[in-house]
Every structure is written in C-alpha cells, then in structure tokens.
Homo-oligomer: A and B are copies of this chain.
Amino acid sequence: MPKIPKSARQTLFKDLPELIGRQLRLQPGSAPGIEAHIPAYSGISPDDVQIEVYDYHQERYEHYQVEDIEQFLTAPRPEWARNRWINVIGLHPLVLSRIGRQFGLPSLALEDVHNVTQRPKLERFEEQNFLVLRSVSLSDGQLTTEQISLFQQPGLVITFQERSGDPWGGVRERLKKPDSRLRQRRSGYLIYALVDAIVDLGFPALEYYADRLEDLELKISEDPQRQHMEALHQIKRDLVTMRRVLWPTREVADHLYRDGLLELREDALMFLRDVYDHCLQLMDLTESLRETTGSLMELYLSMLSHKMNEVMRVLTVIATIFIPITFLAGVYGMNFDVIPELHWRWAYPAFWAAVVSIVALLVWWFRRNNWF
C-alpha cells in the first residue's frame, strides 16, 4: 500500500492547526486588545524584534536599525524628516503595545497584527488607516503566506512583518533615488508602493505553477505515476490558498481606489486602480491554472483507467483464446472405449492444426472488433 510521503501530509494541513492554535492562546471570553496577550506570550524575546527606520524627504534620506526601542520612541523626529517609514520585523505583544501607545495605534488593530490569521482587510480610523495583507512566497515548491500589517498616519507609515524576508527590496532601491516619485510624494504614495509590491509577488508564484503544470502534463501523458497526482493535489491546494488570499485583497484594493488614502493626491488614484487591475489579473490567472490542474487530474485518471482497462481486456482476451482449446484437449483425454479420432494416423498433428486455426480465428475476430 503506497504511503503518502510526509511532506505531502504536512502540506494538506499546512497552516491550519497552527493558525487556529494561535487564536486559542487566549480563552473565549478574555478581554479584547493586545494587552491581554502579554502575560501568556511565550514566543520570541522582545530583543529579537528588529526595527528599521527610513526618514526621507525630497532631498534627504536616512536609514538605520533601531538599537534601543525606548530611546528611539521617545527621541523627537528630526525636523527635516517629513516622511518616516518604520518597519517592525517580529511580533512581540509587549513591543506592539509599546509602539501602539507611542503612535496611538488602536489596541484591537494591534491584536489583529499579533494574531496572524487575519483575512486581508482595510480599516479606516479617524486619523489613520490600517491595512492587513498577505504576502505569498514559495519555499521548496510550496506556497507559504505571511501576514503583513500596515498603519498609515500623516507623514508616517508603520509596517509589521512576522518573519524576516524581504518583499520590499525594490521599494527600498527606489527610496534611495532622489528623483523617484516615492521621494517626491508623501506617505500615501509609499503605502501604494508597498501594497503594489506585495500584490505583485503573486506573479512569480503563478509562473512557477504554470511551469510545474506544463512539466507534469508531459510526464503524465507519457507514464502516469502516483506522485504526479499528489503533485497536482498539492498545486490545487496552493491555488485555492492563492485565491483565498486574492479575493479579500481585491476588496482592499477596490476600497483603496474608491476612497483614496491619506496624503495621496487625486491624480495618483489611478495607481491604486492599477493595483486593483493586477489583483483581477492574478485572479484570472489563478482560475486558468486551477482549470488546467483539473484537466490534468482528469487526464491522469483517464490515462490510469485506460491502462487498467487495457490490462483487463488483454488478459480476458488471452483467457478466452485458451478456453476452447483447453476444452478440446480435455475431450481427447477422455477414456471412452470408442473415440475413433484417437486411432487416426494424423490425429495429433490434426489436433494442433485445429488449435492453431481456432486461435487464429479468435484473434482475427477480436482484431476485427477492435478488442485487442
């Protein structure tokens, strides 16, 4: 009996129990807000949280790692720094709570930052926007998703990632160039650039699946193997995950486009429409790939059933050919006193001639009926 390899098993439930478990660290009925999570927390230490700061305006740009969180939070922002982007890597409730208190981030929103099972969403508060997105990436051919949270206030963007890993390399490069639009505009445009980069991560992932599927089709049409079906199942699951990420992301992009962002000029709305269009394209591609996956599964099953039918038919045909001649041999093994043929001179060669004729006739008949 073939066993499903361990890696496949891990995929099937990929994140489910872990994700649900996280929600459960607190009992139903506990108080809401990030503070309630602090006592029970047992993950990384506050010192493992990395904080990157980017201060910039049109003419100047500075970037540094924060060493001492408390000192950083209490120090005033340099006057020239009209725009600041704080990127927090690692989610510790204590750090979240401290940062939140400093910048007036809502406690419930911070709880969502901490419970990394949120659906992508956009919440608008009076003086700030709160976005939750999911970035997708491939590791060892499996899709993993990570929650990315963004707060936008006038002149300030705070982003939270769970793990190190960099969806924003391109944005950083553009930030360094004084003539890039990013430097000339304010926080709204930065948010757009960050969201755009996360959404576009879907394209390389889908390209990988398209290549895999093309490869699998070739293999299946030559010799269908059990592991091909497993690979197809895994791809299908990943594409379902992809769609589950994209669907609410599209809604977020739609809301952004319709209502705009803080500090985003009217003429930049079309950039947000562009993000929305990319979401639609990704969903279209995902659907195409899912249909292709379904077709390949059908191809696999039909190849397999074809093979099984082939085997059964050939074996049955062989059996059917031998049945009459075995009967004939039985007849001349009988011990009746009088069986005239037994005493003919050429009886034995005649028997073999009969056998060959019967076989030839049956083979011809089967061939004519396309049974063989």
Contact = CB atoms under 8 A, between A and B. Distances in A.
A340 B349 CA distance: 10
Interface residues of A, number: 122
B316 A317 contact: no
Contacts of A181: 31
Q: Is the interface of A mostly helix, strand, loop or mixed?
A: helix
Given A16-B285, A17-B207, A200 B323 contact: no
A330 to B, nearest CB: 3
B334 A112 contact: no
Nearest to A172: B29
Nearest to A23: B203
Tell me the number of copies of this protein: 5
Contact of A347 (B312, B313, B336, B343): B336
A109 to B, nearest CB: 8
Contacts of A327: 322, 325-326, 329
Interface of A: 1-4, 9, 12-13, 16-17, 19-21, 23-24, 27-32, 106, 108, 111-112, 117-119, 121, 123, 125, 167-171, 173-174, 180-182, 193, 196-201, 203-204, 206-207, 210-211, 213-214, 217-218, 221-223, 233, 237, 240, 244, 270-271, 273-274, 277, 280-281, 284-285, 288-289, 291-292, 295, 299, 303, 306-309, 311-313, 315-320, 322-327, 329-345, 347-348, 351, 369-371
Given A118-B281, A322-B323, 20 more contacts: A1-B223, A3-B222, A9-B218, A12-B217, A12-B292, A13-B210, A20-B203, A24-B203, A28-B201, A29-B173, A32-B196, A32-B274, A111-B274, A119-B284, A223-B370, A308-B313, A318-B323, A329-B333, A337-B343, A337-B347
